[in-house]
A = this chain, B = another copy of it.
Amino acid sequence: MSKIYQHIKEEAYLANMQLPELNLVVFTFGNVSAADRDLKVFAIKPSGVPYKYLTPDKMVIVDFDGNTVEGALRPSSDTKTHAVLYKHWDHINGIVHTHSTYGTAWAQTQRDIPIYGTTHADHATSDIPCAPPMDDDMIKGNYEYETGFQIMNCLKDKGLSYQEVEMILVGNHAPFTWGKTAEKAVYNSAVLETIAQMAFLTEQINPKALKLKDSLIRKHYERKHGVDSYYGQ
C-alpha cells in the first residue's frame, strides 16, 4: 500500500468517526470523504462497514471519475455522488452524507428549510435548498452519479453558489454537506441538523413565523464570513 494517500485516509477516517460522536448516524447510515486536489483523488468510507471497525487503512482511494485507485474494500455506495461534486466544484475538499434525523425529515417533506434565525444566517444567507426527486430514468440509470448532477442543478436553478451554501437536502432522501476540509463538511452536517430541528420547532410553536429579515441575514453572515469578519481568531 502506497504512503502517498496516508494523509487523506487519516483525514477521512477522523471525520467519519465524528459522525457517531455527533449523533448524526446510526449503524452505517453515513459517509465522509476527504480529497487531495493535487493527486485528484479522494479517500472515502468503505460501504456498510460499522464505524467501530473503521481504521485509516480501510478507507478507499477513488479518482474524480469514481474509479477505485487503491483499497481492498468496496467504497461507499454513494461514491459516485462524491466524485461528481469533486470534479465540478474546485474549492471543496470534503463531502458528507448522513441520514440525520431532522435533516432527513425535512428532505422527506420536499421543502426547503426556511431561514428563521441567526443560527441559520451564521452559516448561510438563503433557505437550505431541497433538490426535487429525480426523474425515473435517472433513478433507474446511473443513480448515484445523477444524484451529484441533481444537487448541482438545484443550486443552479436557485441561483446559489456552492461556496455560500455548503449544505443541501435531496428530496425524499437525506442531506449532503461539503466544505474546504472533511472536518468542515462534518461541522456543516451538525449545523444543518441543528437548523433543521430549530426550524421544525419554530413552525410548531408559531405556524405564522416570519423569515429573518435581510439586514439580520447580512449582518450575521458578514460578521462570520465577510471581508470585515470579526468572529473567531
Within 8 A of B (CB), among A189-233: 190-191, 194, 197-206, 209-210, 212-213, 215-216, 219, 223, 230-233
> Is the Cβ of B119 less than 8 Å from the Cβ of A104?
yes
Nearest CB to that of A202 among chain B residues? B108
Asked if A17 lies at the interface with its beta carbon under 8 angstroms from chain B, I say no
Per assembly, the copies of the chain total 4
With a cutoff of 8 Å between Cβ atoms, the chain B residues found around residue A219 in the complex are 139-140, 143
Assuming the contacts A29-B119, A173-B117, asked whether A194 and B101 have C-beta atoms less than 8 A apart, the reply is yes
Asked if A178 lies at the interface with its beta carbon under 8 angstroms from chain B, I say no
Stretch of A41-49, A62-70, A87-95, A157-165 at the chain-chain interface: A41-49
> Is the Cβ of A27 less than 8 Å from the Cβ of B201?
no
> Is the Cβ of B26 less than 8 Å from the Cβ of A194?
yes
> Is the Cβ of B201 less than 8 Å from the Cβ of A105?
yes
Bound complex: CA of A104 vs CA of B215, how far in Å? Answer: 19
Asked if A126 lies at the interface with its beta carbon under 8 angstroms from chain B, I say no
What sequence of 0s and 1s flags, for each residue 111-124 of chain A, a beta carbon within 8 Å of any chain B beta carbon?
A: 10000111100000
With a cutoff of 8 Å between Cβ atoms, the chain B residues found around residue A116 in the complex are 108, 172
With a cutoff of 8 Å between Cβ atoms, the chain B residues found around residue A223 in the complex are 77, 143
With a cutoff of 8 Å between Cβ atoms, the chain B residues found around residue A119 in the complex are 29, 99, 104, 174
